[in-house]
Structure formats: C-alpha cells, structure tokens
Structure 1
C-alpha cells in the first residue's frame, strides 16, 4: 500500500519484494528454471534411446542451470539433438542469470547504503555502482554475445578446416562448446570430453580464453572495457581479481604439469609441447570450467587434492565461475599476513580492507568448508568409493566445476540428489550469503565491553 492507502502497482510490489527478500526470490527463480528443464528432458523427444529417469533429468538440468558440468549420462550419446539444445539453453539461462543476479544485487547493496557511502563506493569500484538496471542488462548481454560469438567462430573454423566437419555440424559444435566454455559449464558433445583435442592449441586455448573471460566477472570486464590495461586506474576489486586469476592460472597449470608429467594415464605419453599445453589447460579448468583434455580419473591422488583446493577457490565475483571466489581467498590471505606481522590493519594495494569485508570473507569460507565436509562424510560412509574420490566429486559439485573421477553415474540415486543440492547451494550460496551479510550490515549505537579469549 502507498502512504495514502492506495494499492501499489504490481511492478512496485515486485521491486519491493526483491529488495526485502532477494535471496529467496533468486533461489525460486533458479529452482523454476531447473524444474522446467527437468520436465523438458523427461520428454521422449529429448533422449536418443531410452528415456531419462527423473533423477537423470533433474541432475542434468541442475548441472546445466548451475553451470556445473557433472553428468550421470553421456551428453553426446544419451540426449537427442533436441535434448542437447535444451541443455544449451539451460546453460545460457543459468550463466546469464548468475551474472545478472550478482550485478543487480550489487546495485541493491549500493542503494541500501547512505548517499555518502554510495558515492565513495561508486568512485572506488568504478564498476556497477549507481548504474541503472537496463544499462547493466544490456552490457551483460553484449559482453556475452561478443565473447561467445568470437569463441564460436574460432572453434567452428577449426572443426571444419582441421577435422573435416561439415558446416552445420561444425557450427553446432562451435556454438555449443563456446557457450559451455564462457559460462564455465564444462558440458561437451564428445563422450571423452575434449581428450581428442589434447594437443590442439586452437581448441584448447580458445576454450581457456572463453573460460577465463566468463570467470573473471562482469564488473571486472566492464571496468577493463572502460579503463583498458592500465592497472593504476583499476579498482581494488579488479586488481585483486586480475592478480589472483593470473597467479592461479599459472600456478595451477604448473602444478598439474609437474604432478602429472610422468603419469602414463594422463600426460606421460605426450611430447613436451603436448604436456605443457595439456597441463595448462587442465589447471585452468579447475577454475570451475570442468572440461577435460586428459583422463581425470587416471590422475594421481596428490593431483586430485591440489585440484580440490583450486576448485574450492574458484573464479571472480559477478561471473559464471563458482567456488568461494578469488577475492574472498585474497582477503583471507591478507588478513592472515597482517596478523602474522602484527599489523593493526589488513592492507592490499595500499587500501585498508574494511572489517565488514573481512568478516564476510571468513563467514563465506567457513560455511563453504562445512558444506563440503558434511556431504563428503555422508557419501564416504555409505558408498564403496574412497575418500579422495568422494572429496573430489563433492568439491566439484559445490564449486560448480564439473570435473569428475568417473564415479558420478555409479553413485546411488540419493547420493546424486545430494550432489544436486550441492550444485544448487554452491551456485547461489556464496552470492546470496555475501549479499545477505552486506545487507544486514547496520549501525549500532552501542558496543559491548571488550574481552579476548585465549586463541591457540
């Protein structure tokens, strides 16, 4: 109702509901998309042979909408052309939706701040800030179309020229894999993933480029488009995202290459150039992309554990990547470093990290750890699979990565349902939780007496 007693228009009521309960409405929207996708995949026309079960359809729809890439049936052979189109559309809806969600929630947070704080934030971030919703949606749409289109052109040309695919088939392969890569989904139209292109730099590096662009986040892309490659003009968020992305890309690739160099099941049979390319590709895919150019099931246990860490960290905020996000991880590192040095403030790039951001980062990280540990214990205790296999699967689901040790389809139905819940929570959880914490931040006119328990 308006102050004068007249009812508010429907649009005003919807906007008010979004401001009051953004997390709930967003979860309902994603759940609705998953429900529609499940029903479509249950149609006989969606399957190439036998029809999908309810669990198979639900799992696939959730994996697509949450841009994860874990599968319980072979995407290339189980689903018909119609079913694959449905999966592609669900990936696009999920990827575009999460970027829009993060950006609009950023607007919501900025509008809940005081005017002075809003102006300072807009000046400091130089990103979404105080912009209007229409401009945000248009910019996201343009960036998505350009990135996916460029990757699709390169992939289509490669499939035609090098692999002899006819124009129609090559175009379909190029479009599907470019959309899947930009949205960090990891779905592939080959039964062995991208193992057939392990030494092909045109396919591998194009996929990596699309994954990185989609994973660094819309606010960063928008700022880079405006400021160019001038680090001095970047906001703190962009500096942290670009630095951590570069470090983890190089470090992750180097780790996988060294760890798997002599493994006969993965990099061992390749020449030096092939090993370097495959190692870099596989390290990049742990940033929540989920494609594989080597057999992840054949990797060493140590590689699985290191990949768990990379998957858990994830990519940039406001993008299609999952995990706790590189900014969260960077804030925690800076806080730990400041504590070790005895510094009163956590400082990064000559900027003091606000105490509220430190608390939010700690909350997101610890709750995410709990979200991984509990299902890992449950599945390990009730299945024949080893701890390292289950942990890899659980982290991959929660961080919406899609890499697997090959046990997904062999899990019990209720284990797969548990992974469905993990994918849903992992896709929306960190964003919704971070937003909820920011929106709950309020001034208190008093402070309790201070005391310090013994730590350690």
Structure 2
C-alpha cells in the first residue's frame, strides 16, 4: 500500500489535485454575491454545486435558472466544460502513462491490440478530444437552437444560449438544465429529446473508441477489444433499459401513462440514456415505480465507457466481470473475449474497482439513512446517482440537509475520480515477484 500511494502514483495524484483545485475556484466564484439572483449562496451549497458541475453530475441544491444569475450560470457552464473535457483528456493520458510503464514487448502487444496511441502522443490525445467535443457540442447546439427558435418562438440570442448550455450539459453528461422541470416540458418533442440523448451517448463512449473508429470505422474486424465491448455493451444496455423502463412505466399516469405509445418509447429511451450518466429527465423521476428506480440504480452503477465523460464503474469493468463468470461456469482455464485472452491483472483490477464501488455506495447509503428521514429506495437512488455522477434524483436532494450535502459532495468527487485514478494506480503498481507461496484452497460457497 505504501508503494501504491508513493511517487509511482504521481499521475493519479495530479488528476485528483487538478480537479480539486477547479472545484475550489468554482466554489469561490459561486459564493460571490454576483453569482446569485437574490441572496448569495452559502459555502456548502456553492461547494455542492461546483463539485456537481466539475464532476459532471447534475445534482442541484437550488434550481439553476431561478437561483443563479447569468454570471453564475456561465460559471456552471465553464465548470461543466472543464470537468467533461478534463476527465476525457486526463483518463486518456493516464492510459498512455500506464502503457508506458509496461515492458517493451507488453507495450507493443497492448498497442497492437487496443490501437491506443503511443506514450509520446499526448498532444494528439488533447487535439482529438477537443475536436470530438467541439463537433458534437456544435451539432447538438445547432439543432437545439433551431428548434427553440422555430418551435418555441425564442429570440435568437436566448435560443443560442439555451442550445449551447444544454449541448455542453448533455455531451459532458453533466445534467444541468435551465428549466425547473429539467426537460419534462419537452417530453413530446423529439427535436429536443433525441439530440440531447444522442449527445449523452456520444459523450459516454470515450475518446479511445473514437480513435479506433476514425481509423477503421468501415472494418469492425479491426476494432480494438475495448471498442467492441464499449459499443456492444452500450447498445445492449440502452436497448434493454429502454424496454424495461418503458414496460414498468407504461401505465403510470405520473410519468408515461398519458403519452401516446410512440412517445412512451421515446421517454423510456431518453430516461435510459440519462441513467448512463446524463442526468436530464423528461418525466418526473420522483413519480416512477420502485421497480423503475431499481432498474435505474443498476444502469447508473454500471455507467458509461472508460475515458468518457460518463461515470459509474464503466461498461468495460462490468463486461470483464461477466467474462470472468462465464469462464468459471464453463470451467475454462483462461478468461477470453473476442478471441483475446484477458490478463489476470486486468481481471483483479475490474474486481477491485467493482467491489470498492459497492462498498462506497453501501457506506454512503448507511450514512445517509442515519442523517435523513427518507426510505431506503430513495436514499439508495440518490447515493448511486451521486457516486456514478448521474444527477437524476427522486426529489430529495434539496432536503437532505447540510450534512447530507457534504456526504453527496464526497461521493460525487470519489465516484468521478475513483475508478479512473484507482485503475491507473493499480496498473502502475504492477510488480513481478521471483517467488510464489505454496497453494492452498479454502472452501468457496
């Protein structure tokens, strides 16, 4: 453990302190009188909002549009952009650092398989992330702006602002909205809901996937295993989640029950994509069935792709654990996927990240149950939403008190940076022993 926290983990420390510094600056700016419409924000609420924006979560103590001034909204917009861009860039660079720590043969094998960039291509990573970010956000903002002007008679200046703000919020998976009901007023409008949902999916894929698609988008056989897992799991979780959420909410008059059948499916798709870390909502999440909350809990905990703006334990981690189980059930000596063997080190990393995440969620839920009067289902939803940096809520965020806000703030910070930095730290800490202990088999199960 001492070595894990020592100089070998310096890149991970840089990520943590960089995000902490931005959060503190954002807290200071949001604490200014000019940042609020009326009474200035308290330090805990400013810290909560800044953390939620930088960690691209979207949980809010105050209504964004009515509480914060135009200056405050611009601060939140900047924090979302910095947080989303930063996590995509830094996680991709950490992957290069990890690759650089490997031996020459292992590094060449890794790059040949994953199609990752070499350790000296940091500039190419940054440039690539900037291009992907600007293209997706610009396209989304253009569609939204046109819709706000043509469909809702908004002045061009306000439409541009609304379009840009929500495009950034969607692509960064931040989940902040400039309306008190988030996107509920647009639940029947595909020209608003679908661009936002697609932007969230795009932000949740990650730059490593885009780097592969750029080179071999017409030849799936040459895609890296990471890209195949990310795209495949995204499709499966989105389709399965849409089917499950739509089915459980089909006759619920508080959410989708009063919509036309096609609009119910669109609302189910929108909610499913937002559980991937998007955080916006087109139906009242607080009125959902408990079954839908449970389905959402699972989707939020799994999250989006590695190296993306999304949170959760990541779809690759979840898939690797599934491959481990499948190999064990089949009695196979090696864990494999797509005709590639998964290293034991990577299996242990996935298991470590998943179990530590479960521990944080369990501990956070226990503490929140002690601090608040709310029942387990609502508290668990809130804790997973914070830890997985999603931003959806059953409506209790503003009512958990200052102590509860500090717990959620901690969960957002740990959940945003924990899987990224822990994965890098474990990989960098990989060591070779010249001896092995005698084997003994304790009983399992």
- Shared fold (TM-score, shorter chain, > 0.5): yes
Is residue 298 of structure 2 the alignment partner of residue 282 of structure 1? no
1:171 paired residue number: 160
Does the 8 Å contact 1:122/1:129 carry over to 2? yes
Distance in 1 between the 2:69 and 2:218 partners?
44
Distance in 1 between the 2:124 and 2:14 partners?
22
Is residue 224 of structure 2 the alignment partner of residue 238 of structure 1? no
Deviation string 1:379-415 (CA, Å, 9 cap, x unpaired) is: 1123210000000000000000000000000011011
SS at match of 1:187: coil
Deviation string 1:157-202 (CA, Å, 9 cap, x unpaired) is: 0111111111000000000000000000000011000001101111
Deviation string 1:228-254 (CA, Å, 9 cap, x unpaired) is: 142101010001001000000111111
Structure 1: any 5+ residue segments left out of the alignment? 1-16
Q: TM-score, normalised by structure 1?
A: 0.95
Is residue 397 of structure 2 the alignment partner of residue 408 of structure 1? yes
- In the TM superposition, 1:344-383 aligns within 5 A as 344-383=333-372
Distance in 1 between the 2:40 and 2:19 partners?
24
Answer with 163-172 or 440-449: which moved more: 440-449
Distance in 2 between the 1:18 and 1:153 partners?
46
Distance in 2 between the 1:20 and 1:343 partners?
34
Does the 8 Å contact 1:18/1:25 carry over to 2? no
1:92 paired residue number: 81
Q: Are the structure 2 counterparts of residues 59 and 287 from structure 1 closer, same or farther at C-alpha, using a change threshold of 3 Å?
A: same
Does the 8 Å contact 1:127/1:220 carry over to 2? no
Does the 8 Å contact 2:8/2:428 carry over to 1? no
Distance in 2 between the 1:175 and 1:223 partners?
28
Structure 2: any 5+ residue segments left out of the alignment? 1-5
Deviation string 1:3-53 (CA, Å, 9 cap, x unpaired) is: xxxxxxxxxxxxxx9865122221111111000000000111110111111
1:293 paired residue number: 282
Root-mean-square deviation over aligned CA pairs: 1.1
SS at match of 1:128: coil
Deviation string 1:324-362 (CA, Å, 9 cap, x unpaired) is: 000000000010111111111111111111111110000
1:323 paired residue number: 312
- Corresponding residue to 1:219 among 208, 212, 228: 208
Distance in 2 between the 1:128 and 1:404 partners?
38
SS at match of 1:287: helix
Distance in 1 between the 2:134 and 2:294 partners?
35
Deviation string 1:120-171 (CA, Å, 9 cap, x unpaired) is: 1111111234451111111111111111111111111011111111100000
Distance in 2 between the 1:63 and 1:112 partners?
33
**How many residues are aligned here?**
440
